[in-house]
Amino acid sequence: MYRTFNAAIALTISSVALSACQSEKADPAASESATAKAPSFVVPMASNDPAPGQAGEQEDAARPVMQAQVVLERLGFAPGVIDGKTGLSTTNAVSGFQKANDLPVTGKFDDPTMQALTRWSNIAATRVVTIPQDFAKGPFAPLPKSPEEQAKLPEMAYTSLDEKLAERFHTTPEVLRGLNPQLQNAPFAADQKFRVPNVGGDRIDPAHVDNKGWLATLATLGVSDAQPDAARIVVSKSKGTLEVYDGADKLVALFTVTTGSEKDPLPLGDWTINGKSYNPEFSYDPSLFWDVPDSKGEHLLPPGPNGPVGVVWIDLSKEHYGIHGTPEPQTIGRAESHGCVRLTNWDAARLAQMVTGSTKVSFVR
């Protein structure tokens, strides 16, 4: 359970219509594809997919699960941390893809599912990128543990380049190290080439993003401004998922979420969205947390990806409750929250581009 904050912008509702992720247009020819893919804004280490029918990037090893994860995420069915493993979030992503495509919902990479995914078989599991100098700039430093000391910081920033790169490619520093055994004993650095999960859907049109701080956040996370419009979202307590439906009531996205705890259960019912706060400050009030002594005192924590609610807060009509990001993406679906709905920072950023004040919100068992 969290307290609303940054009131000057928390109630700002975006009314800009967002474009859908997938188009029904015919696949472009190779020459047309290059033009269509030209980004209007430079996203660091952006993806560059082959045209349909063309060969994908050369791989150094077979990674079938990671390849399926990057495809599912591009289609809106988020596997959470991309790690090449068939864990909880990947099972949920597969189930969402199956439901959206009228396949038997097994949560497994069964034959009908693999057949449906062959359309994107030329999307590689990984790609090799070069770390830009601007992206590698810090400062990077460990965060103090006490809210009192955190409140003195200018930003709750990334603590290392490893962490920043991991969020950019929707994974963990450990996965990045595993993909790059030649760098096991060397720090990541500017101008270095290394292999990363082939996350896509990262093109951004700055004309659609008025908030320049948010524009920079989307670019750092590799999240496109162009997302499907969410007519309604459904958060399931038992499944630990957040489903997104468009105006035709078609399932267009699914995210694994953390939905509360025994002390702070998910508030079941129907709610509305008051607004969105990008890169929010956080009003730390220990009286709202059952597991924090009141002696900790109230503090206004600065914004940043390592803040308690990550990069975005989607404010709900239920007082003190919202949907937000997290500084610990590996805990989604596993650790408890204080009643709110928590996603990885990159999934929260993507969801924030989908919802508006007219999006209906249902919390169900």
Answer for the pair 92, 239: CB distance below 8 angstroms, yes or no: yes
Answer for the pair 79, 327: CB distance below 8 angstroms, yes or no: no
Model pLDDT for residues 35-61, shown as the tens digit of each residue: 344 445 789 999 999 998 899 888 999
Give the separation between CA 321 and CA 255, rounded to whole angstroms.
18
Q: Which of 196, 200, 233 is nearest to 323 (CA)?
A: 233
Lowest mean pLDDT among 3-12, 14-23, 52-61, 344-353: 14-23
pTM over 0.85: yes
Enumerate helices (H) and strands (E) in the chain, giving the number of each. Answer: 11, 13
Whether pLDDT at 22 is above 70: no
Q: Which of 172, 133, 122 is nearest to 45 (CA)?
A: 133
Edge to edge, the sheet with strand 312-316 lists 273-278, 312-316, 322-324, 341-342
What are the backbone angles phi and psi of residue 235, rounded to the nearest 5°?
Answer: -105, 120
27-36, 135-144, 296-305, 334-343: which has the highest mean pLDDT? 135-144
Answer for the pair 241, 92: CB distance below 8 angstroms, yes or no: yes
Model pLDDT for residues 152-198, shown as the tens digit of each residue: 999 999 999 999 999 999 999 999 999 999 998 899 999 999 999 99
Give the separation between CA 201 and CA 251, rounded to whole angstroms.
18
